[in-house]
Structure 1
Amino acid sequence: MFFSQSKLQLTLLLIILVFFHTFCSSHNVIEYLPGFPGKLPFKLETGYIGVGEKEEVQLFYYFFESESNPEDDPLMLWLAGGPGCSSLYGVTNEIGPFTIDFLNSNRSLPSLMLREHAWTKVANIIFLDQPVGTGFSYATTPEAFYSNDTYATELAYEFLRKWLISHPKYINNPLYISGISYAGVTVPLVANNIYRGNEAGIKPLMNIKGYILGNPYTDAFGDINERVTYAHRMGLLSDRLHHSAKVNCHGNYVNVNPENVLCLNDLDRINQCLDKINEYMILEPSCDSVWSTKEDILSSAIPFPGESPTNFLQSVVAPEKKIMCRNAAVVHLYTWANNKSVRQALDIREGTKGEWTRCNKTIQSSTQVPDGTTPYVCNAKSVVGYHKDFAHKNCRTLIFSGDHDKAFPHTATEKWIEFLEVPILSDWRPWFVQGQIAGYTMTYGRDDYELTYATVKGAGHTAPEYKPEECFAMITRWFDESSF
């Protein structure tokens, strides 16, 4: 009799929790999107979930059900970088099931098309706009806009708990916290909250299996300091200049003594060599001006004599010639996301947000000092310690790096992975797609912990954007636990 009453009470409690969280959140299943021809061939849900003491932060998400086996396929929480960059870019430009049809779009309503190598073919994915102020997420009070790394990731953990309560069918799916770029900070913090919550018995218990990171920002000093060495390895700096800087700066290119004239001179020469390099993809043109002019926002003019010293190696280019920039496609994304019919289809709450932007510049430009005047404080200077703690848990980790990213170089990532002091299970070796080398990989592990590291050959900062087929093969094989 006692067992029956307890079971009934537990059932009633779960019903109340589901009702409460459904009432305090909203979600909408979308079958049609402006710009896409016909009915969507995948399940898309968007919505808000309130978090914080009084649910003053409303986090917006896009959820795509796996196109293969949603009942058993992994559940991924995908966090974008920035901080303050919208996960919609991850949907359209990185791993989501649709993208902007750039060649067949105009500036009134861009067209959408399916992505062949979408990760939603093998996983259920929640794309979350966080921290507050990112994408379509908003706050109901001015005070709630103030945040930092640790608090924002506590709210992301609360979001995931509430999402799973209102979507109980996914509670038993293998869970991976995932992201790219500055998510190198937020993903470990969220994962740590989940592991701690499970250990404390906080319901619902999550079936976390590990985490996935691409070109992660991990350490405020190490990632930035490594840029000089990386630039030398990629042939952007001479042996003589790199050696001089290494000696004169004592290997520290970030915290430089202002009286160290020799070091400052070397760094000035290095800056001249790297100034026009696209740090997110060193092989592509630097297109900062794509954002500075609205009259010709799709292209960037090639510099002419007068902007740089005349050199006999420079070719003469006709003044009307333009360079097509990768960022040009983002202009169409802005147009699409801010179209009234699109916002209605996505069920964006009217009056909560102004213009959608890829990255919230107010958050990005916040200082690193918690002086109480900036909306966001980057207070997690290094998360290497979290990775070291995960190495003693039941945890699978995939770290991948586009090897042509200078912003957060793969060489910096390799250094902190070695710092974890986890035994090597499989040493440096190539991995293949279509019979061609797609990159190089290593596997580390002990007991219930395993870390797979992979470079993506020829990819930039957001590797799936540059090498979609290779990255799809990578994630599929890793989920299947098959060898690269």
Structure 2
Amino acid sequence: MKHFPLLIFIVVLLLSPLCSNAFLRLPSDVEFPSTQAEKLIRDLNLFPKKLVNIADRDYLSSSSPDAPKIVEKPLKFPDLIEDSSGVSVQDFAHHAGYFNIEHSHSARMFYFFFESRNSKKDPVVIWLTGGPGCSSELALFYENGPFSIAKNLSLVWNEYGWDKVSNLLYVDQPIGTGFSYSTDKRDIRHDEDGVSNDLYDFLQAFFVKHPEFAKNDFYITGESYAGHYIPAFAARVHRGNKAKEGIHINLKGFAIGNGLTEPGIQYGAYTDYALDMGVISKSDHDRINKVLPVCETAIKLCGTDGTISCMASYLVCNGIFNSIIAHAGGVNYYDVRKKCEGSLCYDFSNLDKFLNQKPVRDALGVGDIEFVSCSPTVYQAMLVDWMRNLEAGIPALLEDGVKLLVYAGEYDLICNWLGNSRWVHAMEWSGQKEFKSSPELPFVVDGSEAGLLKSHGPLNFLKVHDAGHMVPMDQPKAALEMLKRWMDSSLTESSAEPEILISSV
């Protein structure tokens, strides 16, 4: 391997005393990825009992060759608080279930499906949470699902749930995350090929189970590390359609929220963003940036040499991010306006508490399967994928008319708007010049500017005001309006009147 000497240099650099000084704070041992994963989970006040969902037996196994690929049941959550209009969960069709992954050893993928409050003809929207290794139930109950968890562990309607304008799917993936499980460790995924193939197989079986939705427009959405999953999944669906594999999926677009998509560009934006937001000083910025050339070289090698260089690039490049945090004095890296209290940046602990209640588990049909809110094992398994450039497959989708929306809350550090804007503008496609020269327009919701929008053809970039990493949680009304108008190809239009909470059915 011609780059091996340089890789050795990078690893030695990482482990040397020079790189553990107060300015760089790079890792001093190979346990760093595990420590990083555990910190991610603790910062959200989540403490899963298991590291990953590898079960000792298949709870849904069947000896029949005609056994369905999907085991699904109507979902009747207990103790749902009715909203002021008197509408209850029983008035809508909700489902939860498991999909037996076809191209796996023994994997089962768990999902929620919420039919639109408006119409079954609304688009089908799938949401993918990042991590990597965090359950999509984080978004379901804290961001854009039909309801959220109250302090007393009952449920309340979410006035701005995305099921108001779409038929909404949440999937626990990659395998081992959330309630998704396998009895075979070989089903743990390490790259986007494995992840996207599992999701594609899921969709095929889902539309066999629900053929009434198969012709609906289809959109892929998500945030954070889903900036990797989403382009890969969109490309897999598009490829399957062209090859006439199974059911045609009516893919219209994909949306990435505060995502990690092109690390080679986005890591270079960390210090610039932190300096602009007053998180670090100019002298800190310049010192930390001395590592940037090594980071960029390691990322380039990851794209050509594979596993060793990808691990090296993860270690050296995350040293940049950790150095910023070390100087930031407890700042919440998901929202730099806020401080983390001790190790706690957000308190999502009610998620574990709610889903571990026996009546809830019975309603979901999960049996003895543990809920793994965020899996350190899945996180570490995907490390060789972390520094891959997932922007590379996007231009072909744009050229075929598949829409892309990249949006980012302006106060997020970890997947900041600046890095996302830079890779979107740097992406080479037939409309690049026109996109770069397009005007920046206000994104107006109810007469107020909720963000700044750039658009050309199928490509849109939206910087969302007054939001951090989780835009639908921080700005739920603007996020719902964003989704609706993007799917309608009317992002530049203003919303005239507030929408009714529950549409007539």
* TM-score normalised by structure 1 residue count: 0.77
**How many angstroms does 1:183 deviate by?**
0.7
d(CA) in 1 for partners of 2:326, 2:150 = 37
d(CA) in 2 for partners of 1:245, 1:54 = 43
Q: Does 1:437 align with 2:449?
A: yes
Q: Does 1:347 align with 2:354?
A: no
Paired residues of 1:244 and 1:266 also in contact (CA < 8 A): no
Question: 1:453 is matched by which residue type in structure 2?
Answer: F
d(CA) in 1 for partners of 2:103, 2:127 = 24
d(CA) in 2 for partners of 1:266, 1:398 = 28
Q: Does 1:480 align with 2:488?
A: yes
Paired residues of 1:78 and 1:178 also in contact (CA < 8 A): yes
Question: 2:363 is matched by which residue type in structure 1?
Answer: A
d(CA) in 1 for partners of 2:322, 2:488 = 48
Structure with the higher fraction of residues in helix conformation? 2
* Counterpart pick for 2:474 among 458, 463, 466: 466
d(CA) in 2 for partners of 1:168, 1:409 = 39
Residue 197 (structure 1) aligns with: 240
Change (3 A) 1:288 1:158: farther
* Counterpart pick for 1:78 among 91, 104, 127: 127
Paired residues of 1:149 and 1:379 also in contact (CA < 8 A): no
**Residues 119-134 of structure 1 correspond to what in structure 2 (within 5 A)?**
119-134=162-177
Cα shift readout 1:204-253 (whole Å, capped 9, x = no counterpart): 1111111111011112333233111101111223345435655x557666
d(CA) in 1 for partners of 2:123, 2:71 = 23
**How many angstroms does 1:111 deviate by?**
1.5
Residue 18 (structure 2) aligns with: none
Question: 1:93 is matched by which residue type in structure 2?
Answer: Y
Change (3 A) 1:380 1:171: farther
**How many angstroms does 1:98 deviate by?**
0.3
SS at 2:406 equivalent: strand
d(CA) in 2 for partners of 1:171, 1:475 = 20
Structure with the higher fraction of residues in strand conformation? 1
Q: Does 1:278 align with 2:332?
A: yes
Residue 305 (structure 1) aligns with: none
d(CA) in 2 for partners of 1:158, 1:250 = 39
d(CA) in 1 for partners of 2:68, 2:158 = 34
Question: 2:407 is matched by which residue type in structure 1?
Answer: F
Question: 2:127 is matched by which residue type in structure 1?
Answer: W
Q: Does 1:101 align with 2:142?
A: no
d(CA) in 1 for partners of 2:341, 2:135 = 21
Question: 1:92 is matched by which residue type in structure 2?
Answer: F
**How many angstroms does 1:416 deviate by?**
1.0
Paired residues of 1:391 and 1:420 also in contact (CA < 8 A): no
What count of residue pairs does the alignment treat as equivalent? 400
Q: Does 1:451 align with 2:496?
A: no
d(CA) in 2 for partners of 1:203, 1:86 = 28
**How many angstroms does 1:266 deviate by?**
11
Residue 92 (structure 1) aligns with: 141
**How many angstroms does 1:406 deviate by?**
0.3
d(CA) in 1 for partners of 2:395, 2:221 = 18
**How many angstroms does 1:149 deviate by?**
2.6
Paired residues of 2:453 and 2:461 also in contact (CA < 8 A): yes
Paired residues of 2:174 and 2:189 also in contact (CA < 8 A): no
Question: 1:52 is matched by which residue type in structure 2?
Answer: E
d(CA) in 2 for partners of 1:270, 1:53 = 42
d(CA) in 2 for partners of 1:43, 1:184 = 30
Moved more, 212-221 or 405-414: 212-221
d(CA) in 2 for partners of 1:20, 1:201 = 25
Residue 391 (structure 2) aligns with: 384
Paired residues of 1:21 and 1:165 also in contact (CA < 8 A): no
Residue 6 (structure 1) aligns with: none
Q: Does 1:156 align with 2:199?
A: yes
Moved more, 61-70 or 224-233: 224-233
Residue 3 (structure 2) aligns with: none
**How many angstroms does 1:32 deviate by?**
3.6
**How many angstroms does 1:426 deviate by?**
3.9
Change (3 A) 1:272 1:198: closer
Question: 1:381 is matched by which residue type in structure 2?
Answer: R
Residue 34 (structure 2) aligns with: none
Identity between Structure 1 and Structure 2 (%): 28
d(CA) in 2 for partners of 1:402, 1:234 = 13
SS at 1:177 equivalent: strand
**How many angstroms does 1:333 deviate by?**
1.4
d(CA) in 2 for partners of 1:210, 1:204 = 18
Cα shift readout 1:251-305 (whole Å, capped 9, x = no counterpart): 666769xxxxxxxx99998554225211111111213534xxxxxxxxxxxxxxx
**How many angstroms does 1:380 deviate by?**
6.4
d(CA) in 2 for partners of 1:188, 1:443 = 19
Residue 24 (structure 1) aligns with: 69
Cα shift readout 1:396-446 (whole Å, capped 9, x = no counterpart): 11111011000011111111111124222842122122322211010022x
Paired residues of 2:146 and 2:158 also in contact (CA < 8 A): yes
Change (3 A) 1:429 1:186: same
**How many angstroms does 1:381 deviate by?**
0.9
**How many angstroms does 1:357 deviate by?**
3.1
Moved more, 144-153 or 405-414: 144-153
Q: Does 1:61 align with 2:111?
A: yes
Q: Does 1:364 align with 2:379?
A: yes
Q: Does 1:141 align with 2:190?
A: no
Which of 1 and 2 has higher RCO (CA within 8 Å, sep 6+)?
Answer: 2
* TM-score normalised by structure 2 residue count: 0.73
SS at 2:399 equivalent: coil
Change (3 A) 1:112 1:149: same
**How many angstroms does 1:58 deviate by?**
0.5
Question: 1:438 is matched by which residue type in structure 2?
Answer: A
Paired residues of 2:116 and 2:166 also in contact (CA < 8 A): yes
Question: 2:280 is matched by which residue type in structure 1?
Answer: L
- Quote the RMSD (CA, aligned, Å): 2.7
Change (3 A) 1:169 1:285: same
Paired residues of 2:129 and 2:139 also in contact (CA < 8 A): yes
Change (3 A) 1:158 1:270: closer
Change (3 A) 1:245 1:119: same
d(CA) in 2 for partners of 1:31, 1:151 = 32
